[in-house]
Amino acid sequence: MTARHVPLVAATRGGAIENVHYGSVAVVDRGGRVLASAGDPRSLTFSRSTLKAFQALPLVRSGGVAALRLAPVELALMTASHSGEPFHIAVVDSLLAKAGQTRTALQCGCHLPYVFATLGRSPAPGETFDERHHNCSGKHAGFLAYCRLHGLGIDDYLDPAHPLQRRIREDTAALAGLEPASMVVGTDGCSAPNLALPLASLARLWAMLAAGGAGRDVDDALDRLFGAMTAHPELVSGTGRSDLHFIRAGRGDWVAKVGAEGVQVIGIRSRGLGIALKVSDGHSDARFVAAFEVLRALGLVAPDDPELARYAAPAIRNVRGVHTGELRPVFELSPG
C-alpha cells in the first residue's frame, strides 16, 4: 500500500518554496503505543543502518562480550556507520583479531571513507582503502565474531538463511511484536540482509534500546549497547557527523542513528520514548531538520541548542558559498 506521507520539510529559494520533502514520523513508548505522529506512522520502512544495534544484539546476548573480551569501543563500532578515520580502523582491526579473521573475510565491499566528504577533504595521492574503511565494517566484524563464538561458517554469513541472520530476524521481530515470517527482507548497501517494518515498530525498537522493557536478559544486552553508544558517539559516526551531534546533545540520555534513504531514529531513556522518521525521497539534510523539529516539539531541545541548532533551519548555499535559501520544517506532531 502507498504510504500516506505529509510535507515535513520545505526548501526555499528567494523566500519562496522550491521543493517539499514528504515523509512520516512516529513517536512511541516501549509498548509500541503511538504517542505522537505526522503522516503515516505505520508505513513500511526499510530500517537500513538503524538496524545495526539489533544486528549486534545476538552476539551480546549470547555471551560474546565476556567470551571474546569485547570492549565498549568495539560494541559501539558494531552499531556504527563510521567515517573510516584512523581511530575507526584501529577498532575494526581489534574486532577482526578477536573474531580470528582478517579484512579479507569482510564481505561489505569498499567505498571512499565518509570522512572526506564530511570534512571537505580529498585523499592523499596514492592513498588506498579496503573493506575496513566501509562504513559498515564494524557490523560485519561483529558478524564474524558471532560466527567464531558459535562455530559457524563465514563464507555465507550474509545469506538470509545463515543461522546468524535468522537469529537477527527472530530477535528483531520479537522485540517489535511482529512475526518473523511477516518481515520483508531486502539487501542493504553493504550486502547484508536488511529488514523492513512499520515505522512505529522501528521507533519501538529504539525505545527499548534506550529504556528496556523486553525482559532481563535482553534488557541487559541492550543496556550494554546503549552504554557503548552514548559513551563513544565518535565511533558510532565520526568527526562532524550528525549521529555524533545528536548523541552528544542527549548527554547520556539519548541514542541516535541515521539510516540510508532518509531514515532517522532516536531513543530517549528518561522518557521511555522511541522516535523514527522517514523522508520519502531520501533527502539527507531534510531528515536532520525533521529530527530536530521533533525533539523541539517534544520539549527535549531548545531552539539554540549548542549541538543541534545547526539543524533547525540550515542554510542552502551554492558552490560559491552564496546563501540561496534554507530548509524549514513545515509539519506539526499530532497526538496518537
CA gyration radius, the chain: 19
Domain ranges across the chain: 6-182+191-335
What digits encode the pLDDT tens for the residues 275-320?
999 999 999 999 999 999 999 999 999 999 999 999 999 999 999 9
Are the beta carbons of 189 and 21 closer than 8 angstroms? Answer: no
pLDDT band at 3 (very low <50, low <70, confident <90, very high): confident
pLDDT band at 2 (very low <50, low <70, confident <90, very high): confident
CA distance 280 to 23: 5
Neighbours of 323 (CB within 10 A): 9
Average pLDDT over residues 39-62: 98
pLDDT exceeding 90 applies to what percent of the chain? 97
pLDDT band at 1 (very low <50, low <70, confident <90, very high): low
pLDDT exceeding 70 applies to what percent of the chain? 100
What digits encode the pLDDT tens for the residues 61-88?
999 999 999 999 999 999 999 999 999 9
Cα–Cα distances (Å) from 302 to 245, 272, 282, in that order, read 14, 20, 26
Query: By CB neighbour count within 10 A (0-12 exposed, 13-18 middle, 19+ buried), where does 9 fall?
Result: buried
Neighbours of 253 (CB within 10 A): 16
The conformation of residue 47, written as its DSSP 8-state character, comes to -
Q: What value, to the nearest 5°, has the Cα angle with vertex 216 and ends 210 and 221?
A: 55
Report the run of H or E that residue 324 belongs to, with start and end: strand 323-329
Predicted model pTM: 0.96
What digits encode the pLDDT tens for the residues 154-175?
999 999 999 999 999 999 999 9
Three cell numbers, residue 246: 545528536
Residue 336 confidence (pLDDT) = 83
B/e letters for 151-180, b = 16+ CB within 10 Å, e = fewer, are eeebeebbeeebebbebbbebbbebbebeb
Are the beta carbons of 186 and 46 closer than 8 angstroms? Answer: yes
> How far is residue 324 CA from its own chain's centroid?
30
Which residue, 147, 148, 187, 184, is CA-closest to 167? 147
Residue 159 confidence (pLDDT) = 98
Question: CATH for 6-182+191-335?
Answer: 3.40.710
Helix, coil or strand: residue 45: strand
In this structure, the chain runs to a length of: 336
Residue 60 confidence (pLDDT) = 98
Q: What is the mean pLDDT of the chain?
A: 97
The conformation of residue 126, written as its DSSP 8-state character, comes to T
Q: What value, to the nearest 5°, has the Cα angle with vertex 237 and ends 236 and 240?
A: 140
Cα–Cα distances (Å) from 47 to 42, 230, 312, in that order, read 13, 20, 24
DSSP string covering 254-303, please?
EEEEEETTTEEEEEETTTTEEEEEEETT--HHHHHHHHHHHHHHTTSS-T
Where do runs of H (alpha helix) occur along the chain? Answer: 52-61, 64-67, 72-78, 86-98, 114-119, 137-150, 163-176, 199-211, 216-231, 233-236, 242-250, 284-297
